Structure 1
Amino acid sequence: MTAHLHHAMVLAAGLGLRMRPITDHTPKPLVEVAGRTMLDRALDHLAVAGTSHLVVNTHWLADKVASHLSGRPGITLSHESELLETGGGVAKALPHLGTDPFYVVNSDIIWTDGAVPALKRLALAWDDDRMDVLLLLTPTATAMGYDGPGDFFLDGHGLPRRRRDREVAPLLFAGVQILSPRLFQDAPSGKFSLNVLYDRALEAGRLSAIVHDGRWYHVGTPDALPQVEAAIEAETP
């Protein structure tokens, strides 16, 4: 069952503390990597996917994000005077995200597509009868800028299992996903992480995942910036 997604949200409200001093004056989503901001790269992917209603949340240096986006049509800003974390941020923006499933994309990661764009692959894999969450995972072995223990294992049916303590998992969450508004029924109020809702969906058997088949980059620190730029430029034909 292919989902036709017209709404999307880009998470752009974070403080970018690990990217200081760059983020003292530039919000992390507006940091340029190989000549293009991370926020614009996310929006470019969503434009190719055919989304027409976009929400971008803001907090740190929100005026700069608003100014940067002023020339792009179809974008609603959801300002957070207090950071609401990932779950609270999406919950606050729900009135602008329609009644159907929607994309949510982190603005602090960069990805390039395989033969089929990752967002299209997610839409093709979506099954509204059995899913409330569909995550894009990426292999830890090929994730540039990541050195953690991973997040998930994945079985042959696309059902993930979280890494337990002292385990090392082969896949990490790539910061790209489809969510159903159903996920937010009885959600906490105020500030909370999407992980709270992921765990509920996992327990109910309504969280699925696919594995990214392109490249994936995390720009976490100023030192990582030139390394990621060199890799992207080498990949660009």
Structure 2
Amino acid sequence: MQKKSARGGKPKLETAMILAAGLGLRLRPITNKIPKPLVKVANRTLLDHTIDKLLAIGVKTAIINIHYLGDQIRQHLSERTDLEIIFASEADTLLETGGGIKNVLEYFGNEPFLACNADVLWLNGPSPVLKRMQNSWHDEQMDGLLMLHSTVEAYGYTGNGDFELDSVGKLSRKLERELTPYLFTGVQILHPRIFKGTPSGAFSLNMIYDKLIKTDRLYGILNDGEWFHIGTPDGLDQAEKYMQYRYSGVRHR
């Protein structure tokens, strides 16, 4: 169970959610036999890259939802002893991002928590972005804080971005198909209260984001390092080449 933070203080973030139930369809044929979170970049799985970042900020327990080839993820993580891991199986029905988190809300109490996609890869800039997110959380004014990255500077990304960011960090959306300056990286701090009144079963977090935007409760913070979109074999190749040739012999930030 997540420890309570002092009222108005920074959240403890000792328990985190890792979303690992995706099918990895766009990364096939690579993911025909392994789940996407176990795809490797720089000789380390995407899932382990993410867990390493969570440990660095003080996370002690990870709740991980699994579906496609979930037994492989269980087996792989059985070798890690540096944090407690609790699996939430979605073997029968995929719950999507919102439903997957709502399914395990009991583990977070009434405190903000980190939620990360298992298949993301980022490098920190001058200061660790998760620590900046933790220090930037203001419970009285926000219900969600998303890690963003420049749309045009992301490796392997060909989309139009997701959000605009105002001078105080509040997020808004533009019309569909219009280029927006920032993309969502798959990493966020959320408060459990945002799930009140949401449907049972499968639903997307985008439904919650849209509600929070209307009430000025969704904020963003920029990652000033690198971010890699590993949604296709080409994106994976770009990430591997970056790590090999620009970070060769250096444990990344």
Please state which band the TM-score falls in when normalised by the shorter chain. Answer: over 0.9
Residue 157 of structure 1 pairs with residue 154 of structure 2: no
Q: CA deviation at 1:163?
A: 2.0
- TM-score, structure 1 as length reference: 0.97
Q: 1:222 aligns with which of 233, 236, 240?
A: 233
Q: 1:79 aligns with which of 89, 106, 117?
A: 89
- What does the per-residue CA deviation read over 1:91-140, in whole Å, with 9 as the maximum and x for residues that have no partner? 01111233210000111210000121111011011001111100011001
Residue 11 of structure 1 pairs with residue 22 of structure 2: no
Q: How many residues align?
A: 237
Q: CA deviation at 1:200?
A: 1.1
Give the structure 2 partner of residue 125 of structure 1.
136
Q: Is the 8 A contact 1:137 1:172 kept in 2?
A: yes
Residues 58-77 of structure 1: matches in 2 within 5 Å?
58-72=66-80, 73-77=83-87
CA RMSD of aligned residues (A): 1.1
Q: CA deviation at 1:221?
A: 1.4
In the aligned structure 2, how far is the partner of 1:183 from the partner of 1:235? 40
- What does the per-residue CA deviation read over 1:53-91, in whole Å, with 9 as the maximum and x for residues that have no partner? 110110000100011111224010011021110000000
Aligned-residue sequence identity (percent) comes to 48
Amino acid in structure 1 at the alignment position of 2:129: A
Residue 181 of structure 1 pairs with residue 189 of structure 2: no
- TM-score, structure 2 as length reference: 0.91
Q: CA deviation at 1:202?
A: 1.0
Classify the secondary structure of the residue corresponding to 2:72: helix
Note the residue ranges of structure 1 that are not aligned, 5 or more in a row. Answer: none
Q: Is the 8 A contact 1:53 1:97 kept in 2?
A: no
In the aligned structure 2, how far is the partner of 1:28 from the partner of 1:207? 29
Q: Is the 8 A contact 2:156 2:234 kept in 1?
A: no
In the aligned structure 2, how far is the partner of 1:136 from the partner of 1:58? 23
Residues 83-98 of structure 1: matches in 2 within 5 Å?
83-98=94-109
Amino acid in structure 2 at the alignment position of 1:177: Q
Give the structure 2 partner of residue 41 of structure 1.
49
Q: Is the 8 A contact 1:55 1:97 kept in 2?
A: no
Classify the secondary structure of the residue corresponding to 1:223: helix
Note the residue ranges of structure 2 that are not aligned, 5 or more in a row. Answer: 1-8
- What does the per-residue CA deviation read over 1:131-171, in whole Å, with 9 as the maximum and x for residues that have no partner? 11000110011100101111111110101111213421010
